[in-house]
Structure 1
Amino acid sequence: MANPQSSQKIAAKVGLFILIGIIILAAGILTLGTMRKSFITRIDAEATFESVNGLTKGNNVWFAGVKVGTVREILFTPDSKVKVLFSIEDTSQPFIKQDATVRVSSDGLIGNPIILISGGSPQARMIEDGFKFKVEPDVTQQEMLTTLQANNKNILSITDDLKSIIADIRAGQGSIGKLMKDEALYANLNKSMATVESATRDLKRGANGLAKLTDKLNADGNFINAIATDKEMYPNIKKTVASLESTSQTLKETTVSAKQMVNNLEQTSNTLLNNPKSPVGVLLHDEKAANNIRETISNLESSSAKLDQNLEALKHNFLFRRYFRNQAKEEAKRKADSTANAKK
């Protein structure tokens, strides 16, 4: 006959195992529900890729850094492309727009492949069940590794060049090497720097002086400031300058006219002097005519002297003496009247 205590122990053990199994089942269901979100309503979507880069069924779909769905199925198309069917949670549907794009990315640098949804404008309509996304070309991990390898080669080449430059500097080659090795060159450089520093100070002083001069010119009451700010003075100056320009132009035209007149007089003089038929030319070139003119002038002078003598003789003649006395009295009276009027 079985021991009652032994039967109770067996029953307790069986109950304990059943309880543990129920707990494990519940935990598994909750875990699967958390990981796969099996109890959440979803909508279907798809996209066709040239290559999925190792994407498999069950991989995640991400939008704005948040997991919003999973890959349901991967199929080949007749044109050797890959169609990926995936589901998206309906709670994320209003935020994903129809102008968004998808690409195959990775969860981290070397993580699992994922489908990444990006882009979309607020004014676009939200996606619907069965929506086909446009595919954005993605950089594959192999391309990234190839780029990294090329960059490593470039860095290695740069390092080799840097080593060569440092070796040349240590050997005293090149400008920097000579500067480090040659003390005389270093001293000359110091002198040059001192000269440049002195010139800089002088330039700074000149700039300060120019600034002070500018401040003085801009001060109220200054002539330059008055010209720049007085609305009446500037037009007057402008008119004066215009008048000076007009006067200068008139003087210039007058000078040109005077020069032309001088040229004309010179030409006329040359014509008169060089033309023996003109009166002046006859006087200058014909000695006979000149002598005749001299004799005529001499005769005129002699006749004038004789005429003066005759007039003087007439004054003393008793027939004309009274006439000349009356003329003298009238002349004296006119002078006296003129003097009296002048004194009044």
Structure 2
Amino acid sequence: MAKKTVNTIKLGAFVLSGLFFLIVLLYMIGKNSNLFGPSFILKAQFEDVQGLVPGNNVRFSGIQIGTVKRIKILKDTLLEVEMRVDKKMEKIIRNNAFASIGSDGLMGNKVINISPSGQPAPLVAKGEVLNARNGVNTDDMLQTLSKTNDDMAVIAAQLKSTVQRINNSTALWEILNEETLPRNLKRSAVNMQLATARAAAMADDLQAIVSNVKNGKGSAGAILTDSSLAMNLNEAIAKIKGVGETADELAASLHAVIKDVQQDVYNGNGTVNALLKDSTMVTKINSSLDNIQKGTHSFNQNMEALKHNFLFRGYFRRLERQKQREAKKTMAFQEQRPAPADK
């Protein structure tokens, strides 16, 4: 009987110890503590670990590679995290990789994500401190979402007020109930389309004009591209300038002459004054012109009498025949000239 009791006690102790060991083993496996495989230590320093605790997972490019061993406070603004990483990753992770704190889902446990930089660098050594990168803080994200929610509530209230004002507006509903409004809008759209087409056509025409000007076509193109025309224009401008200067000189001379004439008229001197103010001079000039006219008439009568005089009749006939021959030669020469070609 005593032997049976001892065996029962031994069996119970063995079962309890096995159960305790199984619980511890399951806990360690669940925490991925890597107690049953080779590992090495890596470190990273953060200003805020955002609720990270020992036992949280460590991932490399999304793959589970270790766990957080401990978190040590270096100073009031700096925390150091020690990570136990699988030994096989010692030949993969490089010392320029970045460590950041993330989370499993939106509200899951914190994890450390190690991301490669993509640049060549030596492999990590045991105890090496990786570069830290600030991750997305869930608290900050929730605060931002809360602020966004408040803004959305304000916008919804304003939108509700706007909808109520629209519903209470009789003028707006009268416009919407107007039967001719769609037809007018359609006509306006057609007019806008026509205006746009005309504007496009004008733009094409303007582009063609600019192209022709650049290629030297037309008057404007010739002016802008023909160097000889530019020289001719410069010469013409110079000549116009010279003519202007000459005109200025002539105007000055004419002004001086007019001034002298005015002075003679005012002083009673000169021929102009005699012509304008001396009545006897005018009478004499009229008499002289009358005598000249009478003398010319008498001279014409004498010349006509000489043509019929038998002494000078032959001379005048020869002159008449010579004039006729010259007129015939001129007419023959004009008939032999070729007609000008039509342009």
Please classify the TM superposition score into its range, dividing by the shorter chain length: 0.5 to 0.7
The residue number in structure 1 matching 2:126 is 129
Label 1:49 to 1:191 Cα distance change in 2 as closer, same or farther (>3 A). same
**Gapped runs of 5+ residues in structure 2?**
1-6, 296-310, 327-343
Q: Deviation at 1:188? A: 6.0
Q: TM-score, normalised by structure 2?
A: 0.61
What are the equivalent positions in structure 2 for 1:292-307 lying under 5 Å apart? 294=284
8 Å CA contact 2:212, 2:218 repeated in 1? no
Label 1:129 to 1:267 Cα distance change in 2 as closer, same or farther (>3 A). farther
Q: Deviation at 1:232? A: 12
Of 232, 254, 259, the match for 1:267: 259
CA distance in 2, matches of 1:164, 1:195: 34
8 Å CA contact 1:97, 1:122 repeated in 2? no
The residue number in structure 1 matching 2:189 is 197
Matched, 1:120 2:114: no
Label 1:189 to 1:249 Cα distance change in 2 as closer, same or farther (>3 A). farther
Letter in 1 for 2:100: R
CA distance in 2, matches of 1:134, 1:96: 12
Q: Deviation at 1:92? A: 2.8
Letter in 2 for 1:120: S
CA distance in 1, matches of 2:194, 2:218: 40
Q: Deviation at 1:195? A: 3.5
Letter in 2 for 1:69: G
What are the equivalent positions in structure 2 for 1:27-66 lying under 5 Å apart? 32=29, 35-66=32-63
Q: Deviation at 1:253? A: 5.0
CA distance in 2, matches of 1:171, 1:47: 63
| Secondary structure of residue in 2 paired with 1:77 | strand
Identical positions, percent: 22
CA distance in 2, matches of 1:232, 1:213: 14
The residue number in structure 2 matching 1:311 is none
Q: Tell me the alpha carbon deviations over residues 219-238 of structure 1, each in whole angstroms, 9 at most, x when there is no partner.
A: xxxxx987765799955873
Label 1:96 to 1:275 Cα distance change in 2 as closer, same or farther (>3 A). farther
What are the equivalent positions in structure 2 for 1:1-344 lying under 5 Å apart? 32=29, 35-79=32-76, 81-118=78-115, 120-172=117-169, 178-179=171-172, 181-183=173-175, 186-187=178-179, 189-190=181-182, 192-203=184-195, 206=198, 229=215, 238=226, 239-240=228-229, 243=232, 246-247=235-236, 250-251=239-240, 253-254=242-243, 257-258=246-247, 261-262=250-251, 263-264=254-255, 265-281=257-273, 284=276, 294=284
Q: Tell me the alpha carbon deviations over residues 281-335 of structure 1, each in whole angstroms, 9 at most, x when there is no partner.
A: 4665677xx66x959x98xx8xxx9xxxxxxxxxxxxxxxxxxxxxxx9x99998
Label 1:211 to 1:88 Cα distance change in 2 as closer, same or farther (>3 A). same
Label 1:188 to 1:254 Cα distance change in 2 as closer, same or farther (>3 A). farther
Letter in 1 for 2:109: N
CA distance in 2, matches of 1:99, 1:172: 66
Q: Tell me the alpha carbon deviations over residues 252-284 of structure 1, each in whole angstroms, 9 at most, x when there is no partner.
A: 653564365245354344344334344544665
Instruction: Number of aligned residue pairs: give it.
Output: 288
Label 1:271 to 1:129 Cα distance change in 2 as closer, same or farther (>3 A). farther
Q: TM-score, normalised by structure 1?
A: 0.61
8 Å CA contact 1:49, 1:83 repeated in 2? yes
| Secondary structure of residue in 2 paired with 1:151 | helix
The residue number in structure 1 matching 2:298 is none
8 Å CA contact 2:31, 2:56 repeated in 1? no
CA distance in 1, matches of 2:268, 2:97: 113
Label 1:197 to 1:32 Cα distance change in 2 as closer, same or farther (>3 A). closer
Label 1:145 to 1:34 Cα distance change in 2 as closer, same or farther (>3 A). closer
CA distance in 2, matches of 1:74, 1:255: 99
Q: Deviation at 1:126? A: 2.9
8 Å CA contact 1:49, 1:82 repeated in 2? yes
Q: Deviation at 1:196? A: 1.0
Label 1:71 to 1:184 Cα distance change in 2 as closer, same or farther (>3 A). closer
Q: Deviation at 1:161? A: 1.4
| Structural RMSD (CA) | 5.1
